[in-house]
Amino acid sequence: MRRRVVVTGMGAVTPVGCGWRPFWEAISSGRSGIRRVERFDPGACPATIAGEVREFDADPYLGRKDRKRMDRFTQYAAVAAAQAMEDAGLSAGGAGDGAPAAERLGVAFSSGVGGMETFEEQHTRLMERGPEWVSPFFVPMMIANMAAGNIAIMFNAKGPSECQTTACAASSHSIADAYRLIAEGRADAMIAGGAEAVITPLAMAGFANMQALSTSDDPGAVPCPFDRRRDGFVMGEGSGALILEELGSALARGARIYAEIVGCGFSTDAYHITSPPPGGEGAARAMQEALRDASLSPDDIDYINAHGTGTPYNDLYETQAIKAVFGDHAYDLAVSSTKSMTGHLLGAAGAVEAIACVGAIMESFVPPTINYREPDPECDLDYVPNEGRKMEVRNAMSNSFGFGGHNCCIVLARWDGDESNEAGSGGGEGNG
């Protein structure tokens, strides 16, 4: 019997607010973080709007010297992780007061791209001034695993440490891996999540030229997931972090428990480098595996935080996949895309959306899909259009699907107060 895994802390750096509570309040009220790009002049780029982080302050968590040696994505990660640790009532591995031993505290923190801003800056130096002007910190600032590495150093986390780079599924894979490591007894607590900061000239041009981004210049109209007008996703940035902890450890130190992670599912499309297969066959298999892993039936799920990018194929095929898995119950589900408010945070999306699922469970409230104006007859589920909804959420699913065909689904449940420390002995309502 595997050990039970609960969420005891959360942190968020997003286009709609920093801190998980400001993030939750924003998406609950349907507030968009999409604006015209301000960090640079998008010029002739077909995509000119994005979800930039505008309220970021690293000073309470990082010194000036540390910030100078971190790409923006690592700074976002470090701050979100620090918020989550503080929220969980933890300071560092082996710090006493019931904290996990350093060797039992791990990190699973992802990025789909890594230090793109650093890459562009240092390439410009190389081309304009020569190789001697390239920073000696270029490589450790750029590589994608440095968010995980710096977080481990900050919090004396000497247990398992990893960085998944499965594109837009990356941070969901990190949460799922952290869950499994704790459930299998390889760690007692994990700092899990992801970070991304690719609102840069090169990245925006690259995504735009592959026709993945919306070309609308109206930030009040897009992204519009599941809407007939959808023409691409809107780039976002930021970080989400969750503290996952073995139930017995959390109870022993009197931690606040937000929710329980009860299952995860994985699959690969093996179809195309960017497009999902017609019908969403790979996504459907990941959702089915997540339900099996959680010992839940389709009817037990109340809410799905959809991948919902606002691209023509993703939204259609995700809808078809949900109908294939849930049958008639698909029409009773609340399905929403919080990317309609944050934009697509790529490798950080899954972690931020898992936090949205926790909020939905805790608050019995489902955030909306905003900018929904013209229904698509082929996307005919309940997408919680434009206004959030008060409803009971016992079990929620978070979907993440990445370029390359990587699929990951996570199932979260309300913790019912049962203190049995083996999965299958209690768990969230409906968890068998």
Counting Cβ atoms within 10 Å, is residue 132 exposed (0-12), middle (13-18) or buried (19+)? exposed
Annotated catalytic residue: which of 173, 224, 307, 406?
A: 307
Q: Using CA atoms, how far apart are residues 175 and 194, in angstroms rounded to an integer? A: 9
Q: Do 430 and 396 meet the contact criterion of CB atoms below 8 Å apart?
A: no
Helix axes 170-183, 349-363, angle to 10 degrees: 60
Helix, strand, coil tally for the chain in percent (to 5): 35, 20, 40
Q: What is the DSSP string of 156-224?
A: T--S-EE----GGGHHHHHHHHHHHHHHTTS-SEEEEEEEE---SHHHHHHHHHTT-B-----TTT---
Question: Is residue 102 within 8 Å of 156, Cβ to Cβ?
Answer: yes
DSSP secondary structure letters along 311-330: -HHHHHHHHHHHHHHHGGGG
The verdict on whether 163 is a catalytic residue reads no
Which of 18, 224, 264, 344 is flagged as catalytic? 344
Of how many residues is the chain composed? 432
Question: CB under 8 Å to 200, separation ≥6 — which residues?
Answer: 39, 40, 116, 117, 120
Report whether 242 contacts 110 (CB < 8 A): no
Does 173 participate in catalysis according to the annotation?
no
Closest of 418, 363, 425 to residue 396, by C-alpha: 363
Instruction: Please identify which of the residues 18, 168, 264, 408 carries the catalytic annotation.
Output: 168
Which residues carry out catalysis? 168, 307, 344
